[in-house]
Structure 1
Amino acid sequence: MGNKAKLGLLAVIALVLTALFMFWNIGSNWDYVLPRRTMKIFAIILTGGAIAFSTMVFQTITNNRILTPSILGLDSLYMLIQTFVIFMFGSGTLTMMNHNVHFLMTVGLMVLFSGILYKVLFKREGQNIYYLLLIGLIFGTLFGSLSSFMQVLIDPNEFQIVQDKMFASFNNVNTDLLYISAILIVLVTIYFARYMKYLDVLSLGRDHAINLGINYDYVVKRLLIVVAILISISTALVGPITFLGLLVVNVTYQFLKTYQHKYLIIGSVLISIVALVGGQLIVERVFEFTTPLSVIINFVGGVYFIYLLLKENKSW
């Protein structure tokens, strides 16, 4: 089966699962249920697409299939921002604050952190990308420790609000935020289009890319900005889903068995949508909302991550 046929098969599976999610047990309340499920599907497509897209680009840049953009510390920074707001001003502030303002503030701070990190680290010549990952990992640990410190001190009732932010949820996504996210993702995709042609060569590694005439540092900086914006949008929209990108991108590599990113990116997005829609169906129909979708994704992704580590270890 060719890659185009495989992508067609994935698209059909995604459509079938989406239709099943939209119309299963809808009853007579079409006017109420259908718009809510439509918004939920829209949120799943945006989030799954952004995470898969950014993880595929990130793994190509780092030339490593067991890394995800969360290593840059953005998930930990998201939790720090939410915890800090509640710690300083109380949970009522989040309720009273305009959702659009809160969303844009969160995305803005996460992108600003990434921009400063890139600017400082790439200012000196000879700094490789693994140095950036190390610094990102350190900052992620720092942000996580600060969040835990504040969570211990706040009122238990306030902590319940913080705890809700720890897990991704598609059940109460604000409609206005979906439109803003969609516009931002489209703009980032248009910006990314000019660098798409470099990905196949970047997957060969830094030295080969430079030898083949690519301005490596220039291209990598721009692609890292794209990754940071996409992860910031998806995290601020529904919350952190740490292992989703790792899971869907590696499954895409196994399924398509190609180096061409024009197939890999589309395939990873479709597999991500299949995983999220299928997972949400299980959460709603099997577990009856007792378990968050992110817990299921992170559990499966964590097991798969351990499998990848053991597999890499054997190959050494």
Structure 2
Amino acid sequence: MKNFIRKYFKLVCISLIVILFFTMAMSLTLGASDVSFRDSIALLLSKIPFLNNFVDKSNIKDTTEIILMNIRMPRIIMASLVGCILSVVGGTFQGMFRNPMADPFVLGMSSGASLGATIAIILGLDKYIFGVGMVNVLAFLFSILTVFLAYNISKVGRKVPTMNLLLSGIAISFFMSSMVSLIMILNRNQMEKIIFWTMGSLSSASWKNVIALLVVSVIGIGINLIFSKDLNIMTLGEDSAINLGVDIEKVKRILIVVCAMMVSFAVSSTGVIGFVGLIVPHVVRIISGPDYKKLTILSSIVGAIFLVLCDTLSRTIAPPMEIPVGVITSFLGAPFFIYLLNKGKKRGL
């Protein structure tokens, strides 16, 4: 499989993009209002420059188009972007920390975002000002603050030892999680809102959020690709990387800042969605190998497909009730990850 992907990498990427397109089209058809697969494909193609001249959508009702383009489409695109971000950041952190168990929230970003969102909900700030949700704003700010604290606590002179960074992230994460639990106990009337947010949901998706996430993901993935060679070298060990001319501390600083911004934007928009950034890059690495350029590109597409599928399940599995997408990703991800660990253990024996 690794040799096949290495030889036909572009073909594999194109195939995955086609699968993503059809997954999004299929997701558009599912929901309270049924829409045919043909109509969903026609609407998708009608929004693509040059192709829209060859698409006939005269048979599609205006109400159907509004439902698809203003409600379902932003949500589906946001799911793909968030899945893409979490998978890319997970793969980057696994390489940078040389730890296959690292995920996008390893530095406590999810706990920080949860605390920010909890404070906003308790203070009654779950409103929109100039089209921006204050819960999202506080979640973003606290997420960034968490990374800033973890980074500065772990610094030793001008260096940031990897182990120190991981341990400080874990410590701050536990502290902020305990703060969230304390606030929930003291404000039981708001507990349901807080729990629902911390489980992750894409129900508040809008085109504004989609555009912001698109910009962040394009810039973030581009920077990750630029440093993919450095990550490949860093897997050999920090001493070897330094001898080969890699500025370890500079690479860490840049990637931590970029990844923190990516995850903070994602988690502030959707809440905490676990296992995506842990499972997807782990599986992709097994199939494609350790090259971080290929890993970043493939993880971004596979992560998008995975979260679109999970979100589709979350809103269609028990209508009219919506299950938080974080529950679906954990339900699917945890057993699969246990299977991978067990398989690796047997291989090791």
- With normalisation by structure 1, the TM-score equals 0.89
Alignment of 1:50-199 (within 5 A): 50-87=85-122, 89-90=123-124, 93-95=125-127, 97-100=129-132, 102=134, 103-124=136-157, 127-156=160-189, 158-199=190-231
Q: Find the counterpart in structure 2 of residue 42 from structure 1.
A: 77
Q: Which amino acid aligns with 1:11?
A: I
2:261 is aligned with 1:229: yes
Residue-by-residue CA offset, 1:31-82 (whole Å, 9 max, x unaligned): 2222122111221122111111111111110111111131211111111112
Q: Find the counterpart in structure 1 of residue 35 from structure 2.
A: 26
Q: Which amino acid aligns with 2:88?
A: F
Alpha-carbon distance in structure 2 between the residues aligned to 1:96 and 1:267: 36
8 Å CA contact 1:244, 1:297 repeated in 2? yes
Change beyond 3 A, Cα 1:179–1:308? same
Residue-by-residue CA offset, 1:92-146 (whole Å, 9 max, x unaligned): x212545526234432332233134323423425652011111111111111111
Q: Which amino acid aligns with 2:249?
A: D
Alpha-carbon distance in structure 2 between the residues aligned to 1:283 and 1:127: 40
Sequence identity (%): 23
Aligned-pair distance for 1:155? 4.0
Q: Which amino acid aligns with 1:16?
A: F
8 Å CA contact 1:167, 1:241 repeated in 2? yes
Alpha-carbon distance in structure 1 between the residues aligned to 2:74 and 2:105: 26
The structure with the larger Rg is 2
1:6 pairs with one of 9, 12, 16: 12
Aligned-pair distance for 1:209? 1.2
Alpha-carbon distance in structure 2 between the residues aligned to 1:94 and 1:141: 25
Q: Find the counterpart in structure 1 of residue 317 from structure 2.
A: 286
2:282 is aligned with 1:250: yes
Alpha-carbon distance in structure 2 between the residues aligned to 1:99 and 1:307: 44
Aligned-pair distance for 1:167? 1.8
Q: Find the counterpart in structure 1 of residue 238 from structure 2.
A: 206
Change beyond 3 A, Cα 1:116–1:152? closer
8 Å CA contact 1:53, 1:265 repeated in 2? yes
**Any unmatched runs of 5+ in structure 1?**
none
Change beyond 3 A, Cα 1:49–1:148? same
Q: Which moved more, 1:215-224 or 1:281-290?
A: 281-290
Alpha-carbon distance in structure 1 between the residues aligned to 2:5 and 2:225: 24
8 Å CA contact 1:55, 1:227 repeated in 2? no
8 Å CA contact 2:29, 2:35 repeated in 1? yes
8 Å CA contact 2:92, 2:224 repeated in 1? no
Change beyond 3 A, Cα 1:312–1:137? farther
SS in 1 for 2:132: helix
Q: Which amino acid aligns with 2:5?
A: G
SS in 2 for 1:71: coil
Q: Find the counterpart in structure 2 of residue 269 from structure 1.
A: 300
Q: Which amino acid aligns with 1:271?
A: V
Change beyond 3 A, Cα 1:97–1:154? farther
2:332 is aligned with 1:297: no
- With normalisation by structure 2, the TM-score equals 0.81
8 Å CA contact 2:87, 2:303 repeated in 1? yes
SS in 1 for 2:185: helix
Change beyond 3 A, Cα 1:127–1:38? closer
Could you say what the CA RMSD is over the residues aligned between the two structures, in angstroms? 2.4
Change beyond 3 A, Cα 1:305–1:215? same
Q: Which amino acid aligns with 2:262?
A: L
Q: Which moved more, 1:286-295 or 1:40-49?
A: 286-295
Residue-by-residue CA offset, 1:144-187 (whole Å, 9 max, x unaligned): 1111011011142x222212211211222133222223233334
Q: Which amino acid aligns with 1:224?
A: I
